[in-house]
A and B are shown apart, each in its own frame.
Chain A
Amino acid sequence: MGDTTGLRRYIIIATAIITGIALLMLYAKADPAAGYFPRCVFLQITGLQCPGCGSQRALHALLTGNLAAAWAFNPLVIIGLPAVITLAIASSVKYRHPRFYNAANSRYVILAALIIVVGWWILRNVLNYVKIF
């Protein structure tokens, strides 16, 4: 029983990884700025940028190897994606490494994420009108 469930789990994980890589390769080929890709609802309704605006173009630039362009589109992707991957790993090994999960879900990590996201949200909308740099 244990072997079959473990095997099934590995098959599911492998399928997910292969599908993800295939989708990413497809995404590297397509340009989100030109094609039919979902646009930010918040930007269309309010005219203000949300913290995630430009993440698709940034991801595309990241997949094509253009790190500077990715940073210019949305720095939050470059900061946030490693954080998301780390947190996802921490959640998946919650019962094997409870201390790692506890540290990843500590108060300071959550508050830092909240402050970075909200701060970036305010900052980028201010920067659109006031040219500081």
Chain B
Amino acid sequence: MTTPPPIPDRGITNKVTPPHIVTGDNEPVIDDKPQAVVEEVISEAVHTQASEEGAETVIETVVEEVYAETAPDPVSSAIPPLPGTTPSGQPLPDKQMPPTYLVWNLLLCIACVITGVVGLIYASQVRQRWTAGDYDGALAASSNARLMILASCVLGLINIPFMLLYYAFT
């Protein structure tokens, strides 16, 4: 094949006068030959690189790999599952409704403890949030309802000495 044309060295290109600058003669000197040579070299280099099979296949494989990493799995993306449910719509066993502690809080209400009423409010929150799909919120409300049971136990223990004092002085 043809040997690549020699890259014009800096010395020549730097000496090229811009076409708008008029030299001593009235005729402007337009020397665009080195520029044309450079363009030719670049286009040829691009052409040879693009036609190289190795580079093309490498690029293809890289693109495929990146796509496989970012693209979703076709099997799992076929059925978009709702959070906390199986594809058939049933709640997953580990995402069941957190306990409402309704029994204990109702019992506390009957047994003269005020925290039972607060626990009932939290129990209703558990159900509401669970129905709305807010699993974490339902879990938080459930733990609050449990906290109310604990708080009433603590209140009862605190009450014992005061009760004894009450019976001692009356």
Contacts and interface: CB of A to CB of B under 8 A. Distances in A.
Interface in A42-101: 42, 44, 50-53, 55-56, 76-77, 80-81, 83-84, 87-88, 91
A117 B127 contact: no
Q: Main SS of the interface on chain A?
A: helix
Interface residues on B, range: 20 to 34
A77 B103 CA distance: 14
A118 B117 contact: yes
A104 B123 CA distance: 12
Interface residues on A, range: 35 or more
B106 A83 contact: yes
Contacts of B167: 36
B128 interface: yes
Contacts of B102: 87, 104-105, 109-110, 113
Q: Main SS of the interface on chain B?
A: helix
Contacts of B117: 51, 114, 117-118, 121
Nearest to A83: B106
A16 to B, nearest CB: 15
Chain A CB within 10 Å, residue with most, of B111, B112, B120:
B112
8 A-B pairs closest in CB distance: A52-B112, A110-B124, A40-B112, A87-B103, A114-B120, A117-B109, A107-B127, A80-B110
A38 interface: yes
